Chains A and B, each alone.
Chain A
């Protein structure tokens, strides 16, 4: 019954994007990365919803918003297995998983305090070294970090 209700909520979106299967502890990082605070769209954020896969999950529904690959793939760094449902006229017309990009620009903060990026007004650039383990390397100081060390700017 509750499962149905959730489905219903998702389907209730006329046009827009549903980001599903977000780990709960990463939900608000995803909100931040996508810059949802600054949007005027109708947005529903579901927190601690029941999930067969994750136990608990987060979900975000954004009306009338369709992300480009570059925009949405930014969240892969914190929520690599999130699923995207693209809704048009109450129908899911596309489902896809977020993909880890090769390069992350202006998202991750370098953990090296002596890195130039932490001392100059500039964007950080990280190269994704290992997509499975989520290892990223700073373009400037070459310092590598793994997922649990990653801080979002």
Chain B
């Protein structure tokens, strides 16, 4: 049996990414479906993540599936020393698809190799978070009308921010120009710059975050600068007020620019930006629902045609 697991975005072809985006679009048109009626979706959260879990569970519920799972590994056998393999084998007997979040890197890939039940990676440590990437791509596509030839500013913590790393890899098909803006301590790791070279992705690097550095952007992708990442807290105190996006900085930006953020934000986007039509982070989170509906359907073998025909039946 072909395992249709969704564990990483970097392996997806351009066609496949556009296909999933098209499917997400269909779900945005009509969200409540019964495409997964009779199916059981297991959400195994070995590490708590309220936002991602709620988004996946909402997606499952709006597709007519039922949801089982746990939100905290403390209440499961893994706290008794059960291996991941045993947990996955056990749950495979019950569920049609397993959505899993794990604190260990590579956990989802391993799970997908030991069971025929499709696995959806809802984040594995600092490694991958592909459903976040798909919703980021969908948000970019929706606000810009295309994924091709865009100017994308990535600002904040580029060292540990897995969402920005996955985004770079997924965008390689679409000829982007990236602008990495980060303090020295949190600059883009060498391996991703090397990845850009290998895939002929254009990028520039800056440490200054100001009106000038965002003037040409089509997308400004903000990430949180976390206090615990700094060895020198003096440095953190200096940095935390530099990498803040304020409303007045947006005056000279392009009219089509949109501000994205994987959320939760702390103080890197000032609250006065929220009412600016260029702010898009809350809609972005909503797009997560449609992206995850598309992912759940795809791993369960439901095609774009099925989704389109299902809507015709409704109207």
Contact with B along A133-153 (1 / 0, CB 8 A): 000001111111000000000
Chain B residues lying within 8 Å of A119, measured Cβ to Cβ, are 104
Given known contacts A120-B85, A121-B83, A115 and B109 CB-to-CB distance under 8 angstroms: no
Chain B residues lying within 8 Å of A112, measured Cβ to Cβ, are 105
Q: Decide if A114 is an interface residue (CB 8 Å cutoff).
A: yes
Chain B residues lying within 8 Å of A120, measured Cβ to Cβ, are 83-85, 110
B11 to chain A, nearest CB (A): 11
For A112, A120, A121, A144, which residue has the most chain B Cβ atoms within 10 angstroms?
A120
- Establish whether residues B106 and A140, one from each chain, have CB atoms under 8 Å apart when the complex forms: yes
- Establish whether residues A142 and B127, one from each chain, have CB atoms under 8 Å apart when the complex forms: yes
Chain B residues lying within 8 Å of A144, measured Cβ to Cβ, are 191
- Establish whether residues A116 and B85, one from each chain, have CB atoms under 8 Å apart when the complex forms: no
- Establish whether residues A141 and B106, one from each chain, have CB atoms under 8 Å apart when the complex forms: yes
Chain A residues lying within 8 Å of B84, measured Cβ to Cβ, are 116, 120
| Complex Cα–Cα for A121 and B124 (A) | 18
Contact with A along B190-207 (1 / 0, CB 8 A): 010000000000000000
- Establish whether residues B85 and A114, one from each chain, have CB atoms under 8 Å apart when the complex forms: no
Q: Decide if B225 is an interface residue (CB 8 Å cutoff).
A: no
| Complex Cα–Cα for A115 and B83 (A) | 14
Number of interface residues of B (CB under 8 A): 16
Q: Which residue of B lies closest to A118 (CB)?
A: B104
Q: Decide if B63 is an interface residue (CB 8 Å cutoff).
A: no
Within 8 Å by CB of A114, from B109, B126, B191, lies B126
| Complex Cα–Cα for A122 and B103 (A) | 17
- Establish whether residues A122 and B85, one from each chain, have CB atoms under 8 Å apart when the complex forms: yes
Q: Decide if A82 is an interface residue (CB 8 Å cutoff).
A: no
For A115, A143, A144, which residue has the most chain B Cβ atoms within 10 angstroms?
A115
- Establish whether residues B85 and A115, one from each chain, have CB atoms under 8 Å apart when the complex forms: no
Q: Decide if B107 is an interface residue (CB 8 Å cutoff).
A: yes
Within 8 Å by CB of B105, from A121, A122, A140, lies A140
B123 to chain A, nearest CB (A): 13
Chain B residues lying within 8 Å of A117, measured Cβ to Cβ, are 106, 110
| Complex Cα–Cα for A119 and B103 (A) | 11
- Establish whether residues A116 and B104, one from each chain, have CB atoms under 8 Å apart when the complex forms: yes
Given known contacts A140-B105, A144-B191, A116 and B83 CB-to-CB distance under 8 angstroms: no
Q: Residues of A with Cβ closer than 8 Å to B? A: 112, 114-117, 119-122, 138-144
Q: Give 8 CB contacts A-B under 8 Å.
A: A114-B103, A114-B126, A116-B84, A116-B104, A121-B85, A140-B110, A141-B106, A141-B125
Q: Residues of B with Cβ closer than 8 Å to A? A: 83-85, 102-107, 109-110, 124-127, 191
